[in-house]
Structure 1
Amino acid sequence: MAFLQILFLTSLSLFFTPSHSQLSLDYYKQKCPAFEQTIRDTITNKQITSPSTAAATLRLFFHDCLTNGCDASILISSTPFNSAERDADINLSLPGDAFDVIVRAKTALELACPNTVSCADILALATRDLVTMVGGPYYNVLLGRRDGLVSKSNYVEGKLPRPTMPMSQIINVFKSNGFSIQEMVALSGAHTIGFSHCKEFSSGIYNFSNLSQYDREYNPRFAQGLQQACKDFTKNPTLSVFNDIMTPNKFDNMYFQNLPKGLGLLRSDHGLYNDPNTKQFVEMYAADQNKFFQAFAKAMEKLSVYKVQTGRQGEIRHRCDAFN
């Protein structure tokens, strides 16, 4: 019996790490009562003026957490002495709207509660509130993160999935971060909002092979539409296409419904439907939006506490783009 009790307590300690235990839902209730309302006011104004903000911030959050934990290290600007995460090649396309909304929220909170709220907490809560604002599921966000003290571009390689990777490699990236295949597919549903630049999928729609101009995984009419939309992408690298052409600004399960129809945009999108390890979950979420929302919410709660720093770790930055 004693052995079983020790085993049980050990398993609990593996799940509830010391860092997690210092987080709470009401962390700022006394320290900064204006915290949540300030976040909501800031993101509402930004989302109204720039509808791509929700997708941009969600992507920024992924890139922050999966690299070195949810510590806002993605927000740090490079200096002559340090090339920061945001300047790694995979992060160069991160939209400016996401950085801007976090800076705005931090500025407002420094006026309301100086030296109190971390940039990591701002990014985590802003992401959740923006997701719900565009129709996505609500999920709990524990608070009390500290901002990281390290941000290096050479730490990024291999930590983030690339759309050109085979599905087996993408699965391994998530597994190395402690996420199951089902959690990976659920998180991939974030592609129900946002857009991708033409250069990220151009190899699949132009001169694909000797037998076909485009990858046959694409719906033919969709491929032709993409060719037209991206025809000048070499001259204008900012050209982009919505990830979900059916309901691009609504967080729903249409992304998964699109994949069996050949309406996936990226190679990784097609891979989700074609790989037997992931196809079952694509079909499940395409058939039942509630199951997708439940899985996405649970995976986001897990992601949001990934390798967080708390207590005496890290710092509370005065500004989000620079260490104190």
Structure 2
Amino acid sequence: MASHGYFSVLVHAFVFASLATSAFSQLSPNYYDYACPNALSTIKSVVEAAVQKEYRMGASLLRLHFHDCFVNGCDGSILLDPSPTIDSEKNAFANFQSVRGFEVVDDIKQAVDEACGTPVVSCADILAVAARDSVVALGGPTWEVQLGRRDSTTASKEAADANIPAPFFSLSQLITNFKNHGLDEKDLVVLSGGHTIGYARCVTFKDHIYNDSNIDPNFAQYLKYICPRNGGDLNLAPLDSTAANFDLNYYSNLVQKNGLLHSDQELFNGGSTDELVKQYSYDTEAFYVEFANSMVKMGNIQPLTGDQGEIRVSCRKVNNY
């Protein structure tokens, strides 16, 4: 990562150019400059401390933002606890006993509200910034986060189950899923690169290692010690061979048929995304620039702005509940 500063400059330039031609007028990177100038630095300090304490937390915060945006837009709905009026997305298949980091979000919210003097920063924006800062803390690129989202007052487990990409999806299902959210094949491949950090549960890759043929036999055998055919569903395996570093190994692993999830290996399985996977397996500059661009694009999926939604006092429950 000796040339990380160079990549960061490229990322900022590319994202700035992209924003000039895209519909990001509702959001702004300067949204909190006057209302709370210390907001972003406060989020960064809490995220860095959390990742330093446990590097897996970086992947957890990135996944939280991703799963939030893919339900009803980037509105913080994934953070809501179950209640008589909330069908919590935390209980969806992709999230239950898998997605973590809620306590860190609570810590960020408390620190930011103290820094601001009042709740002016939405939980949805906290997730977007924390995802960026987590990637940077693990050696990845940076980008300007567009801000001004407001928080949802509802959640939907049903929508989460229907919209979050499943680990057993085929390439065509993945492409359709991303297209439904306004994202293209390049976004699919590059955002999947977020799997360069973090872990997955045995239940999400068991079928892949026992029943799929597009997996290296030695890799499958190694995983069978972690994930037995019967039981062990909550056992964890790294999503790539350097799960603490934001690097290119996720793509290198796919080229070697060492993808942990069925949906991962589908990106390099004789289909239309093979060439992009090959490129990202050796081209750090391209991956960093495109990842940053796609994160900004994903972060603009149906945000609540203006007088929509609310700014939650607690990220876990709607106001006045």
> Is the TM value for this pair above 0.5?
yes
CA distance in 2, matches of 1:191, 1:269: 9
In structure 2, the partner of 1:106 is 109
SS of equivalent to 1:227: helix
Corresponding residue to 1:43 among 44, 47, 50: 47
Task: Map Cα deviations across residues 236-265 of structure 1 (whole Å, 9 max, x no partner).
Answer: 4321100102x2111011111111212111
CA distance in 1, matches of 2:245, 2:147: 27
CA distance in 2, matches of 1:219, 1:232: 18
SS of equivalent to 1:241: strand
Larger radius of gyration: 1
Task: Map Cα deviations across residues 141-169 of structure 1 (whole Å, 9 max, x no partner).
Answer: 01111111221212223211101011111
Task: Map Cα deviations across residues 197-243 of structure 1 (whole Å, 9 max, x no partner).
Answer: 1111112333x3xxxxxx33222221111111223871x43211001
In 2 relative to 1, CA 275–160 (structure 1 residues): closer, same or farther, beyond 3 Å?
farther
What root-mean-square deviation, in Å, do the aligned CA atoms of Structure 1 and Structure 2 show?
Answer: 1.8
Contact 1:233 1:239 in 2 (8 A): no
Corresponding residue to 1:240 among 215, 236, 239: 236
How far does residue 89 in structure 1 lie from its aligned partner after superposition? 2.1
Which runs of structure 2 are paired with 1:1-324 in the superposition (5 Å)? 15-16=22-23, 20-96=24-100, 98-113=101-116, 114-206=118-210, 208=211, 215-231=212-228, 234=231, 236-245=232-241, 247-324=242-319
In 2 relative to 1, CA 106–181 (structure 1 residues): closer, same or farther, beyond 3 Å?
same
Unaligned runs of 5+ in 1: 1-11, 209-214
How far does residue 101 in structure 1 lie from its aligned partner after superposition? 1.3
How far does residue 91 in structure 1 lie from its aligned partner after superposition? 1.7
Task: Map Cα deviations across residues 67-108 of structure 1 (whole Å, 9 max, x no partner).
Answer: 111110100011134312222222213333x21111100011
Unaligned runs of 5+ in 2: 1-18
| Amino acid of the structure 1 residue aligned with 2:148 | G
CA distance in 1, matches of 2:276, 2:249: 14
CA distance in 1, matches of 2:109, 2:47: 12
In 2 relative to 1, CA 233–136 (structure 1 residues): closer, same or farther, beyond 3 Å?
farther
CA distance in 2, matches of 1:242, 1:229: 11
SS of equivalent to 2:126: helix
SS of equivalent to 2:273: helix
In 2 relative to 1, CA 233–141 (structure 1 residues): closer, same or farther, beyond 3 Å?
farther
Contact 1:198 1:233 in 2 (8 A): no
How far does residue 293 in structure 1 lie from its aligned partner after superposition? 1.1
How far does residue 21 in structure 1 lie from its aligned partner after superposition? 1.9
Percent identical pairs in the alignment equals 39
| Amino acid of the structure 2 residue aligned with 1:156 | A
Task: Map Cα deviations across residues 105-148 of structure 1 (whole Å, 9 max, x no partner).
Answer: 00112222212111111111011011011011111101111111
CA distance in 1, matches of 2:171, 2:26: 36
How far does residue 287 in structure 1 lie from its aligned partner after superposition? 2.6
Q: How many matched pairs?
A: 300
Contact 1:195 1:242 in 2 (8 A): yes
How far does residue 15 in structure 1 lie from its aligned partner after superposition? 4.4
How far does residue 316 in structure 1 lie from its aligned partner after superposition? 0.5
CA distance in 1, matches of 2:269, 2:233: 29
How far does residue 290 in structure 1 lie from its aligned partner after superposition? 1.0
In structure 2, the partner of 1:211 is none
Contact 1:158 1:173 in 2 (8 A): no
